[in-house]
């Protein structure tokens, strides 16, 4: 009998920490639109903003709290009364409100930023949580820069806020300093030493300054954390946050190592990524795991041959599991004869072996010059290589032409037919000709420049 898998709460902070990424600010309508997509995505908590930061942020949190009813809606506040009051004013109409209070605890922050002692820090945290609890039942506390905080003092602060009523303890790796084994040990220490820890949820909030945010978040979960704080596409301060899609799919692809489940709806991941990119104007890097445009694209001939035989040879998840229409075999200088032959057939041409070898040699030379060979390039190459007269490697008739010739013979018509206009088939493997939001994509008649400028990341296009 399969053991029950632990449920991990997904806390999405794209609208708060993610928006703090330079160039990624959003207005109220944009935030509201993305909040609805996060709801469709199935996240458990949406951190809608930092209400004290600006009137715009306050109004955005208030608007989201009023209309997005399924998930918990959280608002961030510093550990002081004005922030907490402002957060509650924005959140009070939410179906499930949460006040998220933070206060730095590392010595470097206490000395240089806050200019307070450790004792003052403990007291301020305790009083802030007590006040937040008087307004809202669901209160989260984050000791900022926790991974650079002396562990004994960190546990002392956490003892105080649990006693004051905190329901979630979030452990932030604020500057992306920790490594997975160290972070896992810290979560274990907190579970062993903080009084009343069994009554609260431990959370992890990891930044990516050393490229280990997702690994650190997974280490925390393995050590007993049951909430992860993350963002779509991993956006956020400096190098960003732990990526929601990477955490979720790591658990789904490797349940043997991560026996956990989330409420995230996988086929909404790509749509969320696309929407965020469209709203902020910041494209996803091509090689980004899960949502980058190359994540399910293959150019190397060996890879393409394996994909054509069985996609499992080079893909550990299906594109559709994350909402991507389909894989794409990109024709470039690393492509092999198998992929080239399949693409030619889809464009209406079939070749014998000698003809294919000739086409392939010319194709490789062309690909060396222009990197990616588009359909119109391939059609020009076919026609230039195999003219009707004098070809040493005769072309087997295009499929469309052969069909027309058969019809002519059957009707005993002697009139010559014009050269068939071969209309490019759907790219291989065949995928929908719309973007993630159902908007039709331009046809092949448009210029190559217009096609390459599209930021649709649809690998079936």
DSSP string covering 1-20: -PPPPEEPEEEE-TTTTGGG
Output the pLDDT for position 451.
36
The neighbour count for residue 388, using CB atoms within 10 Å, is 9
Map tokens 């190592």 to a residue: 257
Look at the chain and count its residues: 461
Structure tokens at 370: 């222009």
User: Each residue's pLDDT tens digit in the chain (461 positions)?
Assistant: 456 799 999 999 999 998 888 778 899 999 999 999 999 999 999 999 999 999 999 999 999 999 999 999 999 999 999 999 999 999 999 999 999 999 999 999 999 999 999 999 999 999 999 999 999 999 999 999 999 999 999 999 999 999 999 999 999 999 999 999 999 999 999 999 999 999 999 999 999 999 999 999 999 999 999 999 999 999 999 999 999 999 999 999 999 999 999 999 999 998 899 889 888 988 888 889 888 877 766 555 656 666 557 766 667 777 788 877 555 555 676 777 777 777 777 656 777 888 888 888 888 887 887 767 777 777 777 777 765 433 333 344 444 444 444 444 444 434 443 444 434 333 333 334 333 334 444 443 333 333 333 332 222 22
User: Which residue bears the tokens 């160039």?
Assistant: 23
Tokens 């359909």, located at residue: 375
Q: Looking at the DSSP assignment, which residues form a beta bridge with residue 56?
A: none
Residue 131 CB burial class (10 angstroms; 0-12, 13-18, ≥19): buried
The pLDDT value given to residue 376:
72
The backbone torsions φ and ψ at residue 9, rounded to the nearest 5 degrees and listed phi first, read -75, 125
H-type alpha helices, 281-352: 301-309, 337-346
CA distances from 445 to 31, 136, 343, 378, 393 (A): 36, 59, 18, 15, 30
Question: CB of 392 within 8 A of CB of 355?
Answer: no
pTM: 0.73
What does the pLDDT read at residue 357? 84
Q: Residue 385 — φ and ψ, nearest 5°?
A: -75, -40
| Radius of gyration for the chain, computed over Cα atoms and rounded to the nearest angstrom | 28
Q: What is the pLDDT of residue 415?
A: 41
Dist CA 445 CA 447 (whole Å) = 7
**Predicted pLDDT at 333:** 66
CB atoms within 10 A of CB 81: 13
Looking at the DSSP bridge assignments, the partners of residue 372 are 332
Report the alpha-carbon distance of residue 151 to residue 438 in Å, rounded.
Answer: 51
C-alpha dist (Å) from residue 163 to 160, 195, 196, 210, 306: 5, 8, 8, 34, 58
Nearest to 31 by CA among 59, 54, 10: 59
Question: What are the two backbone dihedrals, phi and then psi, of residue 434, each rounded to the nearest 5 degrees?
Answer: -135, 160
CA distance 367 to 254: 37
> What is the distance between the alpha carbons of residues 76 and 51, in angstroms, rounded to a whole number?
7
Q: What separation in angstroms does the CA of 130 have from each of 81, 225, 344?
A: 11, 23, 70
pLDDT at 331: 66
Cα separation, 61 vs 31, whole angstroms: 9
């Amino acid at each position: 009998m399969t053991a029950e898998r632990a449920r991990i709460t997904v806390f999405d902070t794209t609208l708060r920490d993610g928006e703090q990424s330079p160039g990624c600010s959003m207005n109220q309508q944009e935030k509201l639109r993305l909040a609805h997509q996060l709801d469709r995505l199935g996240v458990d908590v949406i951190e809608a903003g930092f209400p004290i930061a600006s009137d715009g942020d306050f109004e955005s949190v208030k608007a989201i709290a009023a209309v997005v009813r399924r998930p918990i809606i959280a608002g961030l506040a510093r550990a002081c009364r004005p922030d907490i009051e402002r957060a509650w004013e924005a959140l009070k109409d939410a179906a499930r409100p949460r006040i998220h209070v933070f206060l730095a605890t590392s010595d470097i922050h206490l000395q240089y930023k806050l200019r307070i002692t450790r004792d003052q820090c403990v007291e301020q945290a305790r009083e802030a949580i007590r006040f937040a609890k008087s307004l809202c039942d669901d209160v989260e506390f984050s000791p900022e820069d926790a991974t650079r905080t002396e562990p004994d003092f960190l546990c002392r602060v956490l003892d105080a806020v649990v006693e004051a009523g905190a329901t979630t303890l979030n452990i932030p790796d604020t500057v992306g300093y920790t490594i997975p084994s160290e972070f896992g040990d810290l979560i274990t220490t907190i579970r062993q030493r903080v009084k009343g820890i069994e009554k609260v949820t431990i959370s992890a909030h990891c930044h990516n300054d050393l490229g280990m945010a997702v690994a650190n978040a997974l280490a925390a979960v393995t050590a007993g954390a049951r909430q992860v704080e993350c963002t779509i596409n991993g956006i956020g301060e400096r190098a960003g946050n732990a990526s929601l899609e990477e955490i979720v799919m790591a658990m789904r692809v490797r349940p043997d190592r991560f026996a956990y489940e989330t409420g995230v709806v996988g086929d909404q991941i790509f749509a969320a990524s696309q929407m965020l990119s469209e709203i902020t104007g910041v494209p996803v890097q091509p090689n980004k795991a899960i949502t980058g445009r190359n994540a399910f694209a293959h150019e190397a001939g060996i890879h393409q041959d394996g994909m054509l035989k069985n996609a499992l040879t080079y893909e550990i998840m299906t594109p559709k599991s994350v909402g991507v229409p389909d894989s794409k075999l990109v024709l470039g200088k690393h492509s092999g004869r198998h992929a080239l032959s399949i693409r030619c057939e889809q464009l209406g041409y079939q070749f014998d072996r000698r003809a294919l070898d000739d086409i392939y040699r010319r194709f490789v030379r062309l690909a060396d010059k222009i990197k990616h060979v588009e359909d119109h390039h391939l059609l020009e190459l076919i026609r230039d290589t195999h003219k009707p007269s004098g070809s040493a490697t005769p072309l087997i008739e295009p499929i469309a032409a052969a069909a027309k010739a058969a019809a002519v013979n059957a009707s005993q018509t002697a009139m010559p037919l014009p050269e068939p206009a071969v209309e490019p088939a759907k790219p291989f493997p065949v995928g929908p000709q719309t973007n993630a939001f159902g908007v039709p994509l331009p046809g092949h008649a448009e210029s190559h420049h217009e096609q390459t400028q599209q930021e649709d990341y649809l690998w079936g296009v």
